[in-house]
Amino acid sequence: MGVTDWLRRRLDNAVEDRLGDDVGARTRALVFRGNEYGYDAYGLGRDHLKVAALLAGWVYRHYFRCEAHGIEHIPPAGRVLFIANHSGQLPFDGVVIGSACFLEPPVPRLVRSMVETFVPTVPFASYLLPRWGQITGTPENCLRLLEEDEAILAFPEGARGISKPFSRRYQLEHFGLGFMRLALATRTPIVPIAVIGAEEQAPAVNVKPLARLLGAPSFPIVPYPPFIPLLPLPVKYRLYFGEAMTFTGDSDDEDEVLEEKVRAVKHRIESMIHLGLRERKHVFW
């Protein structure tokens, strides 16, 4: 008890010291619906958030040196669904988008991303991710949070997108329809985001026989030690936030009707990706 308390206090002080004025002020400015113990209903903890802000801020500013365009499209309040392309074997695109929404606009915005349902079975990740505002990706959770006017980040390509090999970089996979149903049901505006750079953070080939053997969706191998994607390369990230798109219609419509709306979002992201790739001079700077 004594040792853990002491460690906790030390860590807390260290975090406070390193946060800096800007990030520190942003953590305090965040709208937070916590209880008397400093936790909200989804397990987000104010003290844990400071640690996350510190780590993610460093990754965002120094490791990936991220450049964000179209910050004015991040709404300062109210429900919003961020839809982005997913890539790069490791989910750093989520970290970077979350950091951008927290660090760049005049008012910090907490973005919750939807994590896979196996995450609650993994020790430490099971509680650390919720403490940092991430939630288990079920439609019920998303619906509830949008109705509570929160900001949600979703990758409609899901695992198909993130595990795609290097040879198919910047080609979008099939978009799921779930996000559109949720947006229609809650009348939530969609802000499309194009992520440039994540595709090169872990250029991988997929070893299909090994994946089949292990029963995993893919088995990526990267051309640098330790040969499995654990650390991303320090590529430069570029984010493009698009104008909010509003859709109307019945959330229970046939797939074909929704497909059309989803295609509109996908096209918008595609054209932003093309623009970003044209503007980019180099992968690493």
Partner 1 sequence: MSSGEPVPRGGDGPRRKKVVITGIAGRLGRVVARALHHDPRFLIEGLDRRPFPGKPKDVIHHQVDLRSKKARDVFRTGEVDALIHMGVMHDPRATTAELYSWNVGGTSKLLEYCATYNVPKVVVLSSANVYGPRPENPQFLTEEAPLLAAQRFPAMRDLVEIDHLASTFFWKARDIETVILRPVHILGRVHNAPSNYLRLDPIPMLLGFDPMVQVIHERDIAEAVTCALTPGARGIYNIVGPGEVPLSVIVRELGRRTLPIPHPIAKPLYALAFRLGLSGYPVAEFDFIRYVCMVDGSRAENELGFRARATLRETIRAVDDPD
The site for partner 1 (CB under 8 A) is made up of 1, 35-37, 39, 41-43, 45, 117-127, 130-131, 135-136, 138, 140-141, 144
Residue number, 57 or 130, with CB nearest to partner 1: 130
How distant, in Å, are the alpha carbons of 64, 78, 150, 229, 234 from that of 31?
Answer: 27, 12, 10, 35, 32
114/273 with CB nearer partner 1: 114
Pairing label, strands 151-154, 220-221: unpaired
Minimum CB distance to partner 1, residue 217 (Å): 17
136 vs 186, beta carbon nearer partner 1: 136
The closest of 16, 136, 284, 87 to 97, measured between CA atoms, is 87
Report the residue number, 71 or 119, with the smaller CB distance to partner 1: 119
Closest CB to partner 1 among residues 98, 130: 130
Pairing mode, if any, of strands 190-196 and 205-206? unpaired
**Closer of 141 and 271 to partner 1 (Cβ):** 141
Look at residues 157, 72, 53, 67 and name the one whose alpha carbon lies nearest to residue 114.
157
Least separation, in Å, of the C-beta of 28 and partner 1?
21
Q: Measured from the CB of residue 142, what is the shortest distance to partner 1 in angstroms? A: 9
Q: Is residue 89 a contact partner of residue 203, using CB atoms and an 8 Å limit?
A: no
**Looking at beta carbons only, is 154 or 195 nearer to partner 1?**
154
Nearer to partner 1, 123 or 209 (CB): 123
Pick from 64, 150, 168: nearest CA to 110:
150
User: How many Cβ atoms are within 10 Å of 250's Cβ, its own excluded?
Assistant: 11
Alpha-helical regions (H) of 41-157:
46-58, 92-103, 125-131, 139-147
Smallest separation (angstroms) from partner 1 to the CB of 133: 12
Distance in Å, CB of 44 to partner 1, minimum: 10
How far apart are CB 136 and partner 1 at their closest, in Å? 7
CB of 116 to partner 1, least distance (A): 10
Q: Of 99, 97, 26, 86, give the one whose Cα is nearest residue 58.
A: 99
Q: Where are the alpha helices (DSSP H) in the chain?
A: 2-29, 46-58, 92-103, 125-131, 139-147, 158-162, 178-186, 208-214, 255-279
The most distant pair of C-alpha atoms in the chain lies apart, rounded to whole Å, by: 61
The least CB distance from residue 57 to partner 1, in Å, is 24
